[in-house]
Amino acid sequence: MADQKEQRVCVKFCFLLGKTAAETVGMLRQAFNDDALGKSQVYEWFSRFKSGNMSTEDMPRPGRPSTGRNDENIAKIKRAIDEDRRKTIDQLSEETNISWSTVQRILTEGLHMRRVSAKFVPRLLGDDQRENRVNVCRDLKSEVQNDPEFLKRIVTGDESWCYGYDPESKQSSSQWKTPTSPRPKKARQVRSNVKTMLICFFDVNGIVHKEFVPPGQTVNQHFYLDVLRRLRESVRRKRSEMWRNGKWLLHHDNAPAHTALTVRQFLTSNNMVIVPHPLYSPDLAPSDFFFVSTDEEKSERKAIP
C-alpha cells in the first residue's frame, strides 16, 4: 500500500502546478490505483494549502498524547492482576491510577488477556487432598499389579434414589425424520415424586446384597451398621469361598454414615478390610458408573446425613 505521506506531497506538487482538486484526484487514481487518497481527503488538503498552511504533516490533535501504554504501566497492571485475577478494569484503574481505556488496552493488547468465567467443577480439592488421591491411586495400581485377583475380591456398594418413573431423555425421544415430515413433539415431564432409597453391594460376579430403606428412615450410622451385618450374611451365603478365606474387601465412599466411629469399630472387630477411597473422587467409585445413573441422583445421594 502506498504511503499516504508520499501522496500528500504529490497533492502539494499538483497544487503548486495549478492543477485543480478534481484533476489531482484523477492523477492519484491513475498512479496509485485503489491505494489512492479519497476525493474528500484531496479536497481537504487543497483547502489547507489555499489557507497558507503548506505542511504535509498531520495537524496536532487536542489534548496530551497517550503515554499510558509504557513498560512501567504494563508491569504495574501485570503485578496487580497476578495478585488477584478477579479484579475488574475499574478496580485496576483506581488502584494503579491509570485511565480505564489504557488499562483495557494493556490487558487485551499488551498482556493478551481476556476475562472468562470460572469453569464449574464439583469440588475444589486442596493440596493435601490431591496428594492423598494420587497416593491412593498409586497404591491401588500397585495392588492390581502384584495381585491379579485383587479387583475380584472387592465388594463395593452405595445408596441411590429409585423413582416411580424416569422422564424420557432427549436422546431416547429422538427419531429420524425427512425434510418434509413434521418435527416430533412430546409433553414436558418432571421426575416422579414417588421415590425410595436402594442400598446395593456388588462385585465382579453380580449383586451380593441389596435392600430398600424403609420410608422415613435416615441412613445414619446405626442403620448402616445393621446393613453391614446383613451384608456379611449375604457374603457368607453367596460368596462362600471368599467368606472362608476371609480375603474379601469392602469398598464404600466417605459418606458420614460410612465413616462414623461405631462403623469403623465394627469393621475392625470383624476383620473387614476397607479399600481406601479419596475424598470427592466419584471416578474411583464403581457405583457411580454401574449403579448411580444420573447427576441428580449423585447430588441427592451426597446429601444423605
Q: Are 290 and 247 in the same domain?
A: yes
253 with 157, same domain: the answer is yes
pLDDT of residue 297: 43
pLDDT of residue 304: 36
Q: How much is the pLDDT for 261?
A: 95
Cell of 116: 472468562
Residue 38: CATH number of its domain: 1.10.10.1450
Could you list the residue range(s) of the whole structural domain that residue 24 is in? 4-51
Per-residue pLDDT in tens (0 to 9) along the chain, 305 residues:
457 888 889 999 999 999 999 999 999 889 888 888 888 889 999 998 998 888 888 766 555 455 567 888 899 999 999 999 889 999 999 998 888 888 998 998 888 888 888 777 767 888 898 999 999 999 999 999 999 899 999 999 999 888 877 777 777 777 777 888 888 887 777 777 788 899 999 999 999 999 999 988 999 999 999 999 999 999 999 999 999 998 899 999 989 999 999 999 999 999 999 999 988 888 888 887 776 554 444 444 443 33
Whether 138 maps to a domain, the answer reads yes
Judge if 142 and 245 occupy the same domain: yes
Q: Would you state the cell numbers that stand for residue 244, as one nine-digit string? A: 472362608
250 and 285 co-located in one domain = yes
Please check whether residue 120 lies inside any domain of the structure: no
pLDDT at residue 264, rounded to an integer:
94
Question: Do residues 284 and 209 share a domain?
Answer: yes
Q: Do 141 and 256 sit in the same domain of this protein?
A: yes
Please report whether residue 278 resides in a domain: yes
CA proximity to 74, closest of 40, 41, 98: 98
Same domain, 91 and 27: no
Residue 156 in contact with residue 287, Cβ under 8 Å?
Answer: yes
Instruction: Tell whether 144 and 264 lie within a shared domain.
Output: yes
134: CATH: 3.30.420.10
Closest CA to 265 of 304, 217, 221: 221
Q: Quick check: is 239 in a domain?
A: yes
CA neighbor of 68 nearest in space, from 86, 93, 43, 85: 93
In a domain, 170, yes or no: no
Same domain (yes/no): 106, 132 = no
Which pLDDT does position 202 carry in this prediction? 93
Strand ordering across the sheet containing 154-163: 206-212, 195-203, 154-163, 249-251, 273-274
- Provide the pLDDT for residue 299: 43
| Whether residues 131 and 106 fall in one domain | no
Could you tell me the CA-to-CA distances from 117 to 101, 112, 120, 246 in Å, in that order? 22, 17, 9, 52
How do strand 195-203 and strand 154-163 relate by DSSP bridges?
A: antiparallel
- CA-to-CA distance for 302 and 116, rounded, in angstroms? 30
105 in the same domain as 20: no
Specify the number of domains making up the chain.
3
Q: What does pTM read for this prediction?
A: 0.54
* Same domain membership, residue 273 and residue 144: yes
Q: Is residue 178 part of a domain?
A: no
* pLDDT value at residue 175: 79
Residue 122 lies in a domain: no
Contacts of range 291-299, beta carbons closer than 8 Å, 24 or more positions apart: 291/158, 291/160, 291/200, 291/202, 292/158, 292/160, 293/160, 296/191, 297/160, 297/161
